[in-house]
Structure 1
Amino acid sequence: MALISCGIDFGTSNSSVAIANDGQISLVPVEAAHVTIPSALFFRRVDNKAFYGRTAISLFFDRQDGRFMRSLKRVLGTSLMKQGTLVNGASMNFSTIISSFLKHIKDKADAVANQEIDHVVMGRPVHFVDNDPEADVRAQAELLAIAQRIGFKHIEFQFEPIAAAFAHEARISGEKLAIVADLGGGTSDFTVIKLSNQYVHKPDRSSDILANTGIRVGGNDFDKELSLAAIMPELGFRSTYGPKNLEVPLKPYVDLAEWSKVNFLYTPKIIMQVRQLLHQSHDKKRYGRLLKVLEDETGHTLLAAAEGTKIALSSQAEHNATFDFIEDGFFIPVKRELFEKSIEDDVEKIAASARQCLQLAGVRNEAIDLVILTGGSTEVQSIQTAFKNLFPNAAIADENKLSSVGLGLAYDSDYKFGQRTKRVSQV
Structure 2
Amino acid sequence: MRYGLDFGTSNSAISLFEDERVRVLPVDPGQARPEIMNTLVYIRRDGQISIGRAASEAYYRDNVGREAVKQRITTDQTFKSYFASTGEIEEQIVIEVDINQPGRFFQAIKSFLPEDGYGGTEVWGKFMTLEQLVALYLGEMKRRADEYLGREIDSVVLGRPVFFSPDGSGDDLAEERLRRAAELAGFREIHFQYEPVAAALHYEQELAGPEEYVLVFDFGGGTLDTTIVRVGKGRWKQGDRRDDILATNGRVIGGNTLDEEIMEHKLFKYFGEDVRWSEQRLQLPHYIFAMLKRWYTIPNLQQQQIYDFLDDIGRVSTGRKQVKALETLIRKNYGYSLFQEIERAKVALSKDWETRISFIHETIAISEYFGRPAFEKIIAGHLRRIETCVDETLASAGLEPGQVGAVLRTGGSSYIPAVQKMLERKFGAAALRFQDAFSNVASGLGVAAAHGTWNH
Q: Name the TM-score, length of structure 1 as normaliser.
A: 0.84
Does the Cα contact within 8 Å between 1:165 and 1:408 map onto a contact in 2?
A: yes
Match of 2:267 in 1: 231
How many Å separate the matches in 1 of 2:379 and 2:417? Answer: 11
Could you tell me which of 249, 255, 271 is aligned with 1:219?
255
What code does the residue aligned with 2:190 have?
I
With over 3 angstroms needed to count, the CA separation of the structure-2 counterparts of 1:365 and 1:393, relative to structure 1, is: farther
Aligned length: 414
Could you tell me which of 8, 25, 36 is aligned with 2:5?
8
With over 3 angstroms needed to count, the CA separation of the structure-2 counterparts of 1:205 and 1:22, relative to structure 1, is: farther
How many Å separate the matches in 1 of 2:308 and 2:130? Answer: 28
Could you tell me which of 135, 144, 147 is aligned with 2:179?
144
Secondary structure of 1:178 counterpart: strand
Match of 1:360 in 2: 396
> Alpha-carbon deviation of 1:142?
3.5
What code does the residue aligned with 2:108 have?
S
Secondary structure of 2:339 counterpart: helix
Moved more, 100-109 or 250-259: 250-259
Secondary structure of 1:157 counterpart: strand
How many Å separate the matches in 1 of 2:284 and 2:119? Answer: 31
Alignment of 1:6-405 (within 5 A): 6-20=3-17, 25-32=22-29, 34-45=34-45, 47-62=46-61, 66-67=102-103, 68-78=105-115, 81-82=118-119, 84=121, 95-112=131-148, 114-130=150-166, 132-135=167-170, 137-175=172-210, 176-237=212-273, 239-258=275-294, 261-262=297-298, 264-266=300-302, 274-275=310-311, 278=314, 281-327=317-363, 330-392=366-428, 394-405=430-441
How many Å separate the matches in 1 of 2:434 and 2:377? Answer: 25
Secondary structure of 1:340 counterpart: helix
Does the Cα contact within 8 Å between 2:271 and 2:326 map onto a contact in 1?
A: yes
With over 3 angstroms needed to count, the CA separation of the structure-2 counterparts of 1:197 and 1:299, relative to structure 1, is: same
> Alpha-carbon deviation of 1:181?
0.6
Kindly provide the CA deviation profile for residues 263-284 of structure 1, in whole angstroms up to 9, marking residues without a partner as x.
5555656656655655565433
Moved more, 152-161 or 58-67: 58-67
Kindly provide the CA deviation profile for residues 146-190 of structure 1, in whole angstroms up to 9, marking residues without a partner as x.
223223334333332221111332223223421111111111112
> Alpha-carbon deviation of 1:372?
0.9
Match of 1:424 in 2: none
Does the Cα contact within 8 Å between 1:188 and 1:217 map onto a contact in 2?
A: yes
Match of 2:448 in 1: 412
What code does the residue aligned with 2:433 have?
A
What code does the residue aligned with 1:28 have?
L
Does the Cα contact within 8 Å between 1:70 and 1:260 map onto a contact in 2?
A: no
Does the Cα contact within 8 Å between 1:126 and 1:160 map onto a contact in 2?
A: yes
Kindly provide the CA deviation profile for residues 301-350 of structure 1, in whole angstroms up to 9, marking residues without a partner as x.
01111101111122223221111124475312222222212222222222
How many Å separate the matches in 2 of 1:270 and 1:161? Answer: 46
**Structure 2 unmatched ranges of 5 or more:** 67-101
How many Å separate the matches in 2 of 1:406 and 1:74? Answer: 19
Structure with the greater alpha carbon radius of gyration: 2
How many Å separate the matches in 1 of 2:246 and 2:12? Answer: 27
How many Å separate the matches in 2 of 1:297 and 1:402? Answer: 30
Match of 2:76 in 1: none
Kindly provide the CA deviation profile for residues 32-67 of structure 1, in whole angstroms up to 9, marking residues without a partner as x.
27111122334445x331222223333444567844
**Greater share of strand:** 2
Does the Cα contact within 8 Å between 1:179 and 1:368 map onto a contact in 2?
A: yes
Moved more, 399-408 or 170-179: 170-179
How many Å separate the matches in 2 of 1:289 and 1:141? Answer: 46
With over 3 angstroms needed to count, the CA separation of the structure-2 counterparts of 1:79 and 1:243, relative to structure 1, is: farther
With over 3 angstroms needed to count, the CA separation of the structure-2 counterparts of 1:250 and 1:125, relative to structure 1, is: farther
What code does the residue aligned with 1:58 have?
E
Kindly provide the CA deviation profile for residues 114-150 of structure 1, in whole angstroms up to 9, marking residues without a partner as x.
55444323223344443x4435554444333322322
What code does the residue aligned with 1:52 have?
I
**Greater share of helix:** 1
Kindly provide the CA deviation profile for residues 350-407 of structure 1, in whole angstroms up to 9, marking residues without a partner as x.
2222222211211110111211111110111111111111112642112211111111
How many Å separate the matches in 2 of 1:359 and 1:221? Answer: 26
Does the Cα contact within 8 Å between 1:220 and 1:259 map onto a contact in 2?
A: no
Does the Cα contact within 8 Å between 1:239 and 1:282 map onto a contact in 2?
A: yes
How many Å separate the matches in 2 of 1:205 and 1:94? Answer: 29
**Structure 1 unmatched ranges of 5 or more:** 421-427
Does the Cα contact within 8 Å between 1:160 and 1:189 map onto a contact in 2?
A: no
What code does the residue aligned with 2:110 have?
K
How many Å separate the matches in 1 of 2:11 and 2:323? Answer: 33
With over 3 angstroms needed to count, the CA separation of the structure-2 counterparts of 1:418 and 1:212, relative to structure 1, is: closer
